[in-house]
């Protein structure tokens, strides 16, 4: 059984073996959580973008990713917190609109990262609220999709035991807790 937990904090310091980046298709890491991870990992976001693009070429043989495809990069300076890998995945762009297509793209993005974590042989993985920032998807729907996707993954998981959804702001954390009826 895979457990799913909500946490509040900065994902760049979150002690999970892998953290997930809410990336764009080109792994440009220009803003939001992607920029924060890139800067914290390599000390310089530009350098981590270079490393990410090279990893994408090596791992997938191309220069952009689709929903469900993931790229893995080393944690570099984040190893200090016990983080070993950064798994880059791309969620849907919503711009405030939510429908079945967005949900399916988010499900694929989450599932791709979870399957990669299993492949890497790790037990703990932390996600940011993919697509709930610049990509404009409603946080409540993102949180529900996370819960459902982790439940689905639970049936096939080989080694992953704990999945965290890390909310950056107190407000988002409270929304997530309320959405899941935890309080
Ligand atoms: P997207 O483009 O997929 O929407 P964003 O980076 O804009 O990605 O935002 C995704 C979520 O990550 C937002 O809820 C944002 O508040 C959150 N976030 C931003 N920085 C951090 C951080 N350091 N740790 C955890 N979550 C973060």
Contact 29, 37 (CB under 8 A): yes
- 183 has a pLDDT exceeding 70: no
Residues 49, 46: Cα–Cα separation, whole Å: 5
**Ligand 1 in reach of 2 Cβ (< 6 A):** no
Taking CA 30 as the corner, what is the angle to CA 131 and CA 141, rounded to the nearest 5 degrees?
Answer: 5
Question: For the residues 60-77, what does the mean pLDDT come to?
Answer: 98
134 Cβ inside 6 Å of ligand 1: yes
Q: Which ranges constitute the DSSP H helices of the chain?
A: 32-42, 45-60, 100-120, 139-154, 170-179
CATH number among 2.40.30.170, 3.40.220.10, 3.40.50.300, 1.10.3720.10, domain 3-180: 3.40.220.10
Per-residue confidence at 182, pLDDT binned at 50, 70, 90?
confident
Per the DSSP assignment, residues forming a β-bridge with 125 are 18, 163
Place of tokens 């959580």: 33
Helices 45-60 & 32-42, crossing angle to 10 degrees?
100
Q: Tell me the pLDDT tens digit for each residue of 20-46.
A: 999 999 999 999 999 999 999 999 999
**pTM to 2 decimal places:** 0.98
pLDDT averaged over every residue in the chain:
97
Q: How confident is the model at residue 115 (pLDDT cuts 50, 70, 90)?
A: very high
Going by CA atoms, what residue is nearest to atom 10 of ligand 1?
133
Counting Cα atoms < 13 Å in the Cβ hemisphere of 86 gives 34
Q: Does residue 70 register a pLDDT over 70? A: yes
Q: Domain-by-domain residue ranges, the chain? A: 3-180
pLDDT reading at 132 higher than 70: yes
Q: How many CB atoms lie within 10 A of CB 167?
A: 23
Residue 183 C-alpha to ligand 1 middle, in angstroms? 24
Ligand 1 site, residue 117, Cβ cutoff 6 A: no
């Amino acid at each position: 059984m895979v457990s799913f937990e909500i946490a509040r904090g900065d994902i760049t310091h979150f002690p999970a073996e892998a953290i997930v980046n809410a990336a764009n298709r080109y792994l440009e890491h220009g803003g939001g959580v992607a920029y924060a991870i890139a800067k914290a990992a390599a000390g310089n976001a530009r350098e981590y973008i270079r490393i990410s693009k090279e990893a994408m070429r090596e791992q997938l043989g191309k220069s952009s990713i689709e929903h469900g495809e993931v790229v893995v990069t080393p944690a570099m300076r984040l190893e200090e917190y016990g983080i070993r890998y950064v798994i880059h995945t791309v969620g849907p762009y919503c711009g405030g609109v939510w429908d079945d297509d967005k949900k399916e793209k988010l499900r694929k993005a989450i599932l791709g990262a979870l399957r990669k974590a299993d492949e890497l042989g790790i037990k703990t993985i932390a996600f940011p609220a993919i697509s709930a920032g610049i990509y404009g998807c409603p946080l409540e729907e993102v949180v529900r999709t996370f819960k459902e996707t982790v439940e689905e993954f639970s049936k096939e998981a080989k080694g992953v035991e704990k999945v965290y959804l890390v909310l950056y702001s107190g407000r988002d954390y409270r929304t997530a807790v309320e959405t899941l009826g935890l309080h």
